[in-house]
Amino acid sequence: ETGVTQTPRHLVMGMTNKKSLKCEQHLGHNAMYWYKQSAKKPLELMFVYNFKEQTENNSVPSRFSPECPNSSHLFLHLHTLQPEDSALYLCASSPLQGTNYGYTFGSGTRLTVV
Amino acid sequence: AQKVTQAQTEISVVEKEDVTLDCVYETRDTTYYLFWYKQPPSGELVFLIRRNSFDEQNEISGRYSWNFQKSTSSFNFTITASQVVDSAVYFCALSEEETSYDKVIFGPGTSLSVIP
């Protein structure tokens, strides 16, 4: 069982739907991340939260809206997505800012936009 | 700017063969960190190793070994006596000290298939 839990594991949504991805960690980490993994592309960093504050938005379209209510939970709210947004969305956490210990990843949410 | 290159897109080996996965990085920092992650078919990336730029000693962990060479900006990963369970996508990654948080840049990954 990974220390980072993502739900749902799979999601199919229409372009007009609104859905949310959830990420939860109880590792005591203070930094959390959203990554997008598309077929044939490198992992793309989307958002970074450090102590609940967003510190990075990597030019992500506004149809993706993150939320970090506390250091243990991270959400990615989705609305009016496009088919090209279909991908594996990975959440990760790390202990402290600037320590470069490496990430603990969740198993991801496989998103299909139809 | 930082960059990670994994020139091998896909590798197939027969079980029990040794295999080396290449990783070349670019950075202007003198202090940086290198990582390897494994992504099995289940999806999650599993942390394998972290190495800082001041530690050039090679490391061995069971069947896994890592060769860090600053002179060639490479951090290669060797699996000895490969097993079917080693089949996965392997990512090399780089993090620079100057970021105020752990911002890791990943290479494109190498897909390893170990054939029984």
Higher pLDDT residue, A40 or A43?
Answer: A43
Query: In the predicted model, what is the mean pLDDT of residues A15-31?
Result: 93
Q: How many CA atoms lie within 13 A of B77 on its CB side?
A: 27
CB contacts, 8 Å: A31 with chain B: 101-102
Query: pLDDT tens digits for B57-109?
Result: 888 889 999 999 999 999 999 999 999 999 999 999 998 866 555 678 899 99
The one-letter code for the residue type at B36 is: W
The phi and psi torsions of B84 (rounded to 5 degrees) equal -55, -35
Chain B interface residues (partner A, CB cutoff 8 A)? 33, 35, 37, 42-47, 50, 52, 91, 95, 97, 99-109
* pLDDT the model gives residue B9: 95
Query: pLDDT tens digits for A55-109?
Result: 777 789 999 999 999 989 999 999 999 999 999 999 999 887 656 678 899 999 9
CB contacts, 8 Å: A108 with chain B: 43-44
